[in-house]
A and B are shown apart, each in its own frame.
Chain A
Amino acid sequence: MLQNVRIWFQKTGTAKYISHLDLTHCMGRALKLSGLPVWYTQGFNPRIYMTFAMPLSLGVSGERECMDIRLTGKAPLEGIPGRLNARLPQGLRVLGASEPRHKLEEIAWADYEVQLDAADGKLLQSLTELLSQGQVVVTKHGKKGDKAVDIKPHFAHISIEARPGQLALSMRLPCSVSGSVNPGLLLEALKLYKGIELCGKTVRKGLLLEDFSPIW
């Protein structure tokens, strides 16, 4: 009897600088070390079965990410976080384990926060100007080559909070297997239209379903 288990985790701190592929390797090693009865894919090269939700870009933190594994025997779900956390590197932390309620394909949106250094009010003004334009066209780099897209509709409703020396931008963007919008596109637009090159700290706060409720 295979048991499907959804693992909830954070990818922050130093771990945000590893690629998605490296993340899968780190998780694989931790699962192997945890001694959990994980199910391996069948075939010539058996691998621990892991399916991840939408991959995070390198450098972006994730506060509520998830991946699915299968267990070949019964293991109490409450014990899983402790067993994995003892084996994970800094910045990767398992928050919980649960029985999957939704399919990963049902993910449609993600909430992001982007923190930008802002010594004075100039950045806020530039941002406001940028988002009041009729169109904000940037080049999107995709598998089939570069494409010019208008990102205005996606970023029209972002909320901006002024903090000491900083602006915190909150946004909800499409994030699904059929297509996603990267929050970094806004920074590209700032560079393109306003000549402001900012790096920004981006956090994916959570993954949402079509109706904006969190995936479980």
Chain B
Amino acid sequence: MGLQKQGAAGNLCHTQSSLKTGGRELPLSHDILMRVEKPARYTGGEVNAVIKDLSQVEVRFAFCFPDIYEIGMSHLGMKILYGAFNRVPYFWCERVFAPWVDMERLMVENHIPLYALESGNPVRDFDFIGFTLQYELSYTNVLRMLELSGVPLRSADRTDLHNIVVGGGPCACNPEPLADFFDLFFLGDGEEVDLEVMELYRQCKKEGKGKPEFLRRASRIEGVYVPSLYDVAYNPDGTVQCYTPKDGAPATVKKRVVLDMDSAYYPDSFPVPMIEVVHSRIPEEILRGCIRGCRFCQAGFLYRPFREKSMETIDSQCRALCASTGYDEISLSSLSSSDYSCLNELIDTLHRWTEPEKVSLSLPSLRVDGFSPELMERIHSVRKSGLTFAPEAGSQRMRDVINKNVTEEELLHTVDVAFSEGWTRIKLYFMIGLPTETMEDVLAILELGKKVVDTFYQNKDKPKGKAVEVSLSAAAFVPKPFTPFQWFGQDTMDELQKKQRALKGNVRSKRVNVSYHGAQTSFLEAVFARGDRRLCAVMEKAMEMGLHFDGWDDCFDFSKWMEAFAACGLDPAFYANRERGADEVFPWDHLDYGIRKGFLREECEKAYQAVTTPNCREQCAGCGAACYGGGLCVAKR
């Protein structure tokens, strides 16, 4: 994204008039809007934005996305919860995004508090301030947004039953690096538990109860983690000794699961941005969870059990969303959409009305073994220019270690079909720094790239007069909680860079191009992914030092981060690079996602022996998710 630098402010007029529009009042002036990139990020007023009469509203929820508007407005979870909250007449959920650096500076200079887009009211007026935690490197933005709101950062410093700071999303599975700032976290699916907590707040308000009583009662709700109700003790070596619950909080907090995807809430409309965002289309979630059990993939474990929506539900939800948004593209989304049990039939059903209405269907990244000419014929919108697959590792041994369960044969067959169908550009995603990886495994990525090129030249039906282009992209592996690799010490940055150089330096084909990214960002991600509560001090220090938007190359400042760790006397390598012992107590062991730690350990040991595990459809691996009593776990195989 091209970002303009703002010149030094000269002889500027500072009219502090507010911008009145459509009955709303935003705390911004025209002058300020004209000095920032993409001013429509900050003005709201979109079709389907929910405006309510404040006199009828009892609980106000500021849904904060700790990244810029274009990214937040592309996020499915926010759309679901926005609709679910606003369906209740006396709740009002509004949207808040992180102002990009140009606007952030102007807001600070002009004493403009962070505000919500629907009402224009300051975030500090809200009952709930909720953050979705999607990515470790957005944590500084969370703190920055609290700071811009003028709300005390630490939970302990917010004593009233007001400004309750809550969080959810995948990173809430180990929220300890943010524990001191949040009042509570939602674990698992939010469609029900979030509303229960808002309802509890409403009751506590009516009964005149204080915040401690509210938090105590909230901790009794399944799926709610109140970090202040747990004392942490550490061993002399810095590892966690134990978590001790107090005030009747449960010893372990179980994640919430919405079992029936057909009856679960799904929005029939959502605010449609006036500007182009990352995904300008309708997301239709066709299933939740994943059958695959790739050992590096946190989402694959966090979102179990695997639950599909029925075709009828998908069809009616797609119709409703087309009728409310005006979009002409529907993305059939999930962690692995080609695993939907009757995908071709679903697409045929949808095509009956989407084709005459000129609405196109698209699928997010496909599995190598999920690609078929029949499927491609059905998805017209896929551009012939490029196809992307994620074999994740170059050698078969390495793919067995990570349980990717894709063979080289399958990949070469798939690209061969794609070449026959007219594609010439193939992009392949890999990871480096995986457990047990040798330099040989790394270089196998290049060999695989070369074989894809050879497949093109051997294909008799390949497009004439076009050259093949194979892009190999290598990301650095970040070990995550609730995966079989949660014990693994991440490769050091030196090791990762050595592997990156080997990749870059050994390309033998002009048709192959290699890219890699982020040893430093991956290191930091690894620190916070498996961090503990002591990192809260580092988080706060980093924010004070002006760090924000760490996931953006323009803003990422590694040396400042290292300063922040040094200032707090903590060694980041302890969190990122240290191999954990089999018996170590983790900072997230008191959080229960339905996956047994013993199962993860078994998977870890199988990984080191390069033994694969069949997917959930073939055979139940006994991970523990069956405890929820739903989805594929209880279906007949």
Contact = CB atoms under 8 A, between A and B. Distances in A.
Interface of A: 13-15, 17-19, 21-22, 25-26, 28-30, 32-33, 40, 46, 58-59, 87-91, 117, 191, 195-199, 201
A89 B328 contact: no
A195 B22 contact: no
A197 B10 contact: yes
Nearest to A21: B276
A206 to B, nearest CB: 21
Given A18-B275, A22-B274, A29-B327, 17 more contacts: A14-B21, A14-B22, A14-B45, A14-B274, A15-B45, A15-B274, A17-B39, A21-B276, A25-B276, A29-B272, A32-B326, A40-B358, A59-B34, A91-B45, A196-B11, A199-B30, A201-B30
Interface residues of B, number: 32
A46 B39 contact: no
Contacts of B30: 59, 199, 201
Nearest to B26: A14
Interface string B254-278: 0000000000000000001011100
A40 B360 CA distance: 14
B46 interface: yes
Interface of B: 10-13, 15, 19, 21-22, 30-31, 33-35, 39-40, 43-47, 272, 274-276, 280, 323-328, 358
Contacts of B325: 29, 33
24 contacts: A13-B21, A13-B22, A14-B45, A15-B45, A17-B33, A17-B39, A17-B40, A18-B274, A18-B275, A22-B40, A25-B280, A29-B272, A29-B325, A40-B358, A59-B30, A89-B46, A89-B47, A89-B272, A91-B22, A91-B45, A191-B10, A197-B12, A199-B13, A199-B34
A26 B34 contact: no
B37 to A, nearest CB: 10
Query: Considering residues A18, A117, A198, which has the most beta carbons from chain B within 10 angstroms of its beta carbon?
Result: A18
B358 to A, nearest CB: 6
Contact of A32 (B34, B45, B276, B328): B328
Contacts of B22: 13-14, 90-91
Contacts, number: 85
A17 B45 CA distance: 11
Given A18-B40, A29-B326, A59-B39, A89 B45 contact: yes
A46 B10 CA distance: 48
Given A14-B40, A14-B45, A89 B274 contact: yes
Given A19-B275, A29-B272, A90 B15 contact: no
B326 A117 contact: no
B11 A29 contact: no
Nearest to A119: B13
Contacts of A90: 21-22, 44-46
Contacts of A117: 13, 15
Contacts of A33: 323-326
Contacts of A198: 13
A23 B211 CA distance: 46
Nearest to A35: B323
Contact of B358 (A14, A46, A88): A46
Contacts of B39: 17, 58-59
A125 B31 CA distance: 22
B275 A87 contact: no
A88 B11 CA distance: 38
A40 B14 CA distance: 46
Contact of A199 (B31, B276, B327): B31
Nearest to B325: A29
Given A22-B275, A46-B358, A89-B274, A30 B326 contact: yes
Contacts of A196: 11
Contacts of B47: 29-30, 87-89
A91 B43 CA distance: 11
B33 to A, nearest CB: 6
Contacts of B272: 29, 89
- CB-based closest 8 A-B pairs: A29-B326, A90-B45, A14-B43, A14-B45, A17-B39, A90-B22, A13-B21, A199-B31
Contacts of A58: 39
A28 B33 contact: no
Nearest to B15: A117
Contacts of A22: 40, 274-276
Contacts of A30: 47, 326
Contacts of A15: 45, 274
Contacts of A19: 275
A14 B28 CA distance: 11
Contacts of A89: 45-47, 272, 274
Nearest to B323: A33
A163 to B, nearest CB: 14
A91 B23 CA distance: 12
Contacts of A18: 40, 274-275
Contacts of A201: 30
B44 A14 contact: yes
Contacts of A29: 47, 272, 325-327
A30 B34 CA distance: 26
Contacts of B46: 89-90
